């Protein structure tokens, strides 16, 4: 049955990348999965892949920057499967026009914050209430290694939004620790995903990022899914409020402990 038998998970950004790989892995472990994304076709493909493998899933259109959409995706989990046990707030954007303070427009800043930061807030606002109704559960918020160090290729709005995700994760972990709810931040390093490869659109940009990674390669979305599986499982039962770096060693090389 898998270690997530009888568990129900919501995965935002489930149409591709980390979200898709995690939805597939959670389902393979027995979870029923609500695949939420604005990319309806991709979300449907993820759901079809889960069903083809014998798993349970539904796809749902959700713009995480909209409170009503986040409320609806949580309600769908409870209406379809009876409860919510795992909330993976993973949806995010990396705008190609995001640069330094001078280059980044207010519109790009606001859009990035609305999806990357407010979207996580909305997910937690409605998702944590569902976890409470289920008697406890797990929240995983996708942050980034750039929340802990300055990026070699500037992306100010993205970096600031992910710093906010880290801070929010810590506070929610403390608030809900006595309610059998764990809240952790997954901090991927540079990944071989379409989002980052579109942003690092020249070999020079790619090499500028890779030169800082001790393992010398981009990570894979499937490797992040394995990390999310650990954080969502009982194997991490004493882990909450953590910044879980899965980054090829980049923060170990560049972040000085306080």
Active-site positions read 158
Measured CA to CA, the distance from residue 132 to residue 7 in angstroms comes to 14
Closest to 149 measured CA to CA, from 258, 253, 254, 246? 254
Q: Which tokens in the block code for residue 162?
A: 């992910």
Q: Which tokens in the block code for residue 81?
A: 């499967």
Measured CA to CA, the distance from residue 147 to residue 161 in angstroms comes to 8
C-alpha dist (Å) from residue 91 to 147, 162, 171, 227, 245: 16, 12, 20, 16, 18
Measured CA to CA, the distance from residue 18 to residue 67 in angstroms comes to 23
Distant-in-sequence, close-in-space partners of 258: CB < 8 Å, separation ≥ 6: none
Closest to 155 measured CA to CA, from 107, 94, 243? 94
Distant-in-sequence, close-in-space partners of 164: CB < 8 Å, separation ≥ 6: 113, 116, 117
* DSSP per position, 83-133: ---EEEE------TT--STTTS-HHHHHHHHIIIIIHHHHHHHHHHHHHHH
Measured CA to CA, the distance from residue 177 to residue 170 in angstroms comes to 10
Backbone angles phi, psi at 184, to 5 degrees: -135, 155
Q: Is 48 helix (H, G, I), strand (E, B) or coil?
A: helix
């Amino acid at each position: 049955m898998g270690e997530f038998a009888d568990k129900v998970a919501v995965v935002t950004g489930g149409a591709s990348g980390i979200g898709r790989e995690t939805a597939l892995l959670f389902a393979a472990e027995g979870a029923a999965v609500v695949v939420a994304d604005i990319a309806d076709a991709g979300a449907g493909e993820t759901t079809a892949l889960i069903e083809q493998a014998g798993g349970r899933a539904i796809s749902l259109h959700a713009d995480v920057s909209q409170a009503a959409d986040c409320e609806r995706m949580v309600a769908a989990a409870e209406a379809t499967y009876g409860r919510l046990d795992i909330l993976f707030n993973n949806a995010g954007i990396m705008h190609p026009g995001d640069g330094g303070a001078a280059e980044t427009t207010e519109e790009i800043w606001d859009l990035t914050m609305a999806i990357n930061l407010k979207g996580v807030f909305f997910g937690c606002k409605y998702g944590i209430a569902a976890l409470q109704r289920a008697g406890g559960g797990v929240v995983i918020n996708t942050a980034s290694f750039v929340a802990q160090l300055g990026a070699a290729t500037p992306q100010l709005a993205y970096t600031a939004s992910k710093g906010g995700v880290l801070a929010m994760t810590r506070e929610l972990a403390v608030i809900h620790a006595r309610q059998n709810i764990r809240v952790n931040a997954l901090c991927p390093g540079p990944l071989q995903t379409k989002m980052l490869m579109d942003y690092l659109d020249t070999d020079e940009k790619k090499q500028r990022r890779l030169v800082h990674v001790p393992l010398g390669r981009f990570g894979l979305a499937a490797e992040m899914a394995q990390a999310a599986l650990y954080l969502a499982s009982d194997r991490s039962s004493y882990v909450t409020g953590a910044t879980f770096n899965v980054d090829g060693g980049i923060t170990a090389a560049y972040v000085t402990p306080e």
